Amino acid sequence: MDRRAASHEPALPPETGTWVAKMKKPSPHGSHPELGSCRFCEIAAGNLKATIVFEDSICVAFLDERPLFEGHCLLITRDHYQTFLDLPRDLIGPLFLNAQHLAKAVQSGMRAEGTFMAINNTVSQSVAHFHMHVVPRRKGDGLRGFFWPRRRYQTEEELLSVQEALSSLLR
Residues 117-153: tens digit of each pLDDT: 999 888 888 899 999 999 999 999 988 766 667 789 9
pLDDT at 145: 64
pTM: 0.75
Q: In what order do the strands lie in the sheet with 59-63?
A: 18-19, 52-55, 59-63, 73-77, 131-137, 114-118
Domain boundaries, the chain: 3-170
Q: Which CATH number fits domain 3-170: 3.40.50.1360, 3.40.50.300, 3.30.428.10, 3.90.79.10?
A: 3.30.428.10
Q: For 103-118, how does the pLDDT look when each residue is reduced to its tens digit (9 = 90+)?
A: 999 999 999 999 999 9
Distance CA 147, CA 150 (A): 9
pLDDT number for residue 142: 87
Q: What is the pLDDT of residues 18-61, one digit of tens each?
A: 433 333 333 333 444 444 589 999 999 999 999 999 999 999 99
Rounded Cα distance between 43 and 37, Å, is 11
